[in-house]
Structure 1
Amino acid sequence: MSAPAHTRTIARDAVRAALSRTAFELSRERGFDKVTVDEMAAAAGVSRSTLLRYFGTKEEAVLSAFDDHAMGFAEELRARPADEDHWTALRRSLEGVVPFYLQDPQAALAMTRFILGTPALQSRQAEKRHGWRPVLTAALAERAGHSGRPPVRLAVLVAAALDCMDIAVAHWADSDGQEDLAVLLAEGFDTLTSLSVGSAAR
Structure 2
Amino acid sequence: MIAWIEGELAARELGRVVLAVGGMGFEIAVPLSTYELLPDAGHPARLLTHLHVREDELALFGFATADEKRVFETAIGVSGIGPKLALLLLSTLPVPRLVEAVRGGDLATLTRVPGVGRKTAERLVVELRDRFADMAFGETGPPAAAGATPAGRREEGAVKALVALGFPRGRAGEAVRAAAGEASDAEVEELVRRALGALNG
TM-score, shorter chain, exceeding 0.5: no
What's the TM-score once normalised by structure 1's chain length?
Answer: 0.26
What's the TM-score once normalised by structure 2's chain length?
Answer: 0.26
Rg (Cα) greater in structure: 1
More helix by share: 1
More strand by share: 2
